[in-house]
Amino acid sequence: MELIFLGTGAGMPSKERNVTSVALNLMAERNSFWLFDCGEATQHQILHTQVKLGRIEKIFITHLHGDHLFGLPGLLGSRSMSGSTEPLTLYGPTGIKAFIESALSLSGSYLTYPLDIVEIQPGLVFKDAQIEVSTLPLTHGIASFGYRIEESDKPGTLDAARLIAEGITPGPLFQRLKSGESVTLDNGQIINGQDYIGPNQKGKSIAIFGDTTPTELGPQLAAGVDVMVHETTLEASMAEQANSRGHSTTHQAAELAKQAGVKKLIITHFSGRYDRDECQRLLAECRTIFPATDAAYDLGVFEI
């Protein structure tokens, strides 16, 4: 599982950064990619990555500002023109359905695949045996949401070395024991697989924030996650300006990461006033409060 940052800029693109989008690589887990936000030219950025349009299973939009949304109609159309027939589910705030239906209708576009559009409310928005996704509202002037992605715990590993030490020969029995079954050996001995399986392995967890000022629901959304992705539009000294425009600073993102007890913070959504070198200064500001911070950059890949 890894995050691929397709755009890390705020408001408008620059020579170094496209506007916001991040892909979650779930190829190993479910043979698909999930996309969070889809600013203008996201599909151009995708061309430089391992992301395949036909393998995008879900798209989650945090809010309806153009720098998070305007790449979506083009991407949906290109996915169709590439011949994909795999279903796609789109999640976003109220209004996302009208936006997409109008864009596709007025442009005479067609889709070769089923598209399900879900207008979200706070709480659980998706769950299956592998992953669940929940959302909470943020504070940004228009409806803006953060998404929490939690992978189900995985079964513990079979202690093969212990079984072999006890004289049990590797083979088909091991697979049954790994499934937790009880098996009877040729000598009549009964072996309970549960006795040889280690504790469950904790699933991965991620919190991806949309644009927001500091909000009281932030610690709940990010509590204890492995990775928190949060905007740091401006430096710490510009808090009044950032907050008045519905955004956060370096120190505010880092304080949240510390309060929520996350393992890693990845900062993104940088104002165009900062080039890549200056973003290192923003990173340093975060690290004074929360050392386990990295700065995203376009086409950057971060393993979870």
Confirm whether residue 251 is marked as ligand binding.
no
Distance, CA of 156 to CA of 201 (rounded, Å) = 6
User: Beta strands of the chain (E only): which ranges?
Assistant: 2-7, 21-26, 32-36, 56-60, 88-92, 115-119, 123-127, 131-137, 145-151, 182-184, 190-192, 205-208, 227-231, 264-268, 293-295, 301-303
**What SS3 state is found at 4?**
strand
Confirm whether residue 298 is marked as ligand binding.
no
Catalytic residue status for 195: no
Q: What is the dihedral of CA 92, 57, 301, 208, to 10 degrees?
A: 30
For residue 258, count CB atoms less than 10 angstroms from its CB and return exposed for 0-12, middle for 13-18, buried for 19 or more.
middle
Confirm whether residue 48 is marked as ligand binding.
no
Whether the CB-CB separation of 211 and 268 falls below 8 Å is answered with: no
Confirm whether residue 68 is marked as ligand binding.
yes
Radius of gyration of the chain (CA): 22
Which residues lie across from 56 on neighbouring strands? Answer: 33
**Catalytic, out of 67, 277, 294, 298:** 67
Confirm whether residue 44 is marked as ligand binding.
no
- For the chain, how many residues are written? 304
- Kindly report the number of other CB atoms within 10 A of residue 102's CB atom: 11
**What SS3 state is found at 40?**
coil
Binding-site annotation, residues: 63, 65, 67-68, 140, 211, 269
Q: Which residues are part of the catalytic machinery?
A: 67
Binding-site annotation, residues for Zn(2+): 63, 65, 67-68, 140, 211, 269
